[in-house]
Structure 1
Amino acid sequence: MTAAMMLPATAPVAALYTRTIVSHRVARVVAFTVGYLLVWAAAGLPAYALAALAGRAAGTDAATATAVAAAVFAANGVYQLTPLKDRCLARCRSPIGLMLRCASYPGRSRDLRAGAHHGAFCLGCCWSLMALLAAFGMMNLWAMVGLAAVLSAEKLAPAGPVVARGAGAASLALAIAVAWVPGLAPGLIGSAM
């Protein structure tokens, strides 16, 4: 799921990194990809536990489900508007800094470290948007498509930072609206019914 959602946003960085490699290209690209995926896997395990905990809490009653959904939307909305999000997004939008930094990494682990470095900034950009899947439903295809579009627009469109702020404002509005329209969070509200 993460790979499908992140592929459009990370493909340009991977392609740029691949063009900088002159020898042992396949092995080095695999190492870069493994480093990237290790960061997401390390973040995915606690995220899965938190999503399961939120689902269990939401399953107790509708009021708790609504409160959990509002908290998820609000957390994303607030994070989308922070300087940390802006910093991570700037690093993801301009990967040339990554290329320059990775050129100074010594040894065989260079590509693995480069992938992990990029993965960490990518995670910083995207974790709160991925958390929205707890509210929308983990396997909700439309939510995945919509979030993939937002992620791609944030990282690739000229107005990416504006898209990020708009997504934050929309998420804050959803945090308020879910009290009146519980169906906005089918992943949590549905488990309480």
Structure 2
Amino acid sequence: MQPAPAASKRLLDHGQWRLLGCLLALIALAWFELWRMSQAMVAPGGMLDMAMAGMPMPWSLTDAALMLAMWLLMMLAMMLPSALPMLLLYQQLLKRRLPTGQHLLAMSLFIAAYLLVWGGFSLLATLLQWWLDHLSLLSPELRSTSIWLAAALLFGAGLYQWLPLKQACLRHCQGPVLFLAGHWRPGVSGGWSMGLRHGLYCLGCCWALMGLLFVVGAMNLLWVALIAAYVLLEKLLASGPWLARGAGLLLMGWALHLLLPAWI
């Protein structure tokens, strides 16, 4: 057998490195903007100061737009890193099957469709935040003020980690090769349909974990980063299904721990 060409031994080709660089820059920008928003909230005269002073804070259209932007940035920062293996593999396959202009368009449509799914989730999260805020169940840090609500979110997320739907969606998110083999759609339009499908699998895998943000504080960037890191590990590690079940037990235990004082 002849040795493989040096180019084939590279971990990533030039196109993949460019794509990876662009995506990492987008992720970094999302984290930076989240940090700026968190700093604006705690700045003198910011939302936290107003809330602590007891000032009424009905949602205006601007407030709703800002909260939606926050959730959009958060989902981009948390979920796009775990999609990188899929995007890099898809880009490699597109280069072999489509001309340059078409494969760039298909790649862009895949990413746009994936982010559209999480954009829809961001809208639902914003509506849920508004509803909880209307019921006075959220603190200024966007953390649940109700032990019962926090316990329900924790127990629900923990239980979901054990359900067959979670495990099925995780399998599709864990295996880019299997996903592309089973759901391949040709041409430029295939990028859009496959991006939507992959986004829905990722949503099915991780939506319940996002409810934890109302337990720990949606603008607590340390917890946001920890949840994002967990999602990444769950999808990258071969033991991801067992990691999910173990995390589920911990979350249900956390919920019971919160409720224990109310039962004694």
User: What TM-score do you get using the length of structure 1 for normalisation?
Assistant: 0.84
Conserved? CA contact 2:106–2:187, under 8 Å? no
The counterpart of 1:27, out of the listed 91, 105, 123, is: 105
Higher radius of gyration, 1 or 2: 2
| Matched residue SS, 2:131 | helix
Structure 1 window deviating more from structure 2 (50-59 vs 9-18): it is 50-59
CA shift in 2, pair 1:18/1:108, >3 Å: closer
Number of residue equivalences: 179
Conserved? CA contact 2:153–2:215, under 8 Å? yes
Confirm or deny that 1:165 pairs with 2:245: yes
The counterpart of 2:114, out of the listed 29, 36, 59, is: 36
Per the TM alignment, residue 108 of structure 1 is displaced from its structure 2 partner at its CA by 4.1
How far apart, in 2, do the equivalents of 1:175 and 1:26 lie?
46
Conserved? CA contact 2:105–2:188, under 8 Å? no
The residue aligned with 2:174 is 93
1:26-105 to 2 correspondence within 5 Å? 26-57=104-135, 58-59=137-138, 65-103=146-184, 105=185
How far apart, in 2, do the equivalents of 1:59 and 1:3 lie?
23
1:76-99 superposed Cα distances (whole Å, 9 cap, x missing partner): 011111011000001111122321
Return the letter of the residue paired with 1:176. L
How far apart, in 2, do the equivalents of 1:28 and 1:66 lie?
46
1:69-128 superposed Cα distances (whole Å, 9 cap, x missing partner): 11111110111110110000011111223212443x355421111100100000011101
Structure 1 unaligned residues grouped into runs of 5+: 183-193
Conserved? CA contact 2:106–2:188, under 8 Å? no
Per the TM alignment, residue 176 of structure 1 is displaced from its structure 2 partner at its CA by 1.3
The counterpart of 1:5, out of the listed 78, 97, 102, is: 78
Per the TM alignment, residue 5 of structure 1 is displaced from its structure 2 partner at its CA by 1.1
| Matched residue SS, 1:116 | helix
Conserved? CA contact 1:54–1:68, under 8 Å? no
User: What TM-score do you get using the length of structure 2 for normalisation?
Assistant: 0.63
> Which of structures 1 and 2 has the larger relative contact order (alpha carbons within 8 angstroms, sep 6+)?
1
Conserved? CA contact 1:98–1:114, under 8 Å? no
Conserved? CA contact 2:183–2:194, under 8 Å? yes
Structure 2 unaligned residues grouped into runs of 5+: 1-73
How far apart, in 2, do the equivalents of 1:47 and 1:7 lie?
18
Return the letter of the residue paired with 1:36. Y
The residue aligned with 1:130 is 210
**Identity across the alignment (%):** 36
The residue aligned with 1:187 is none
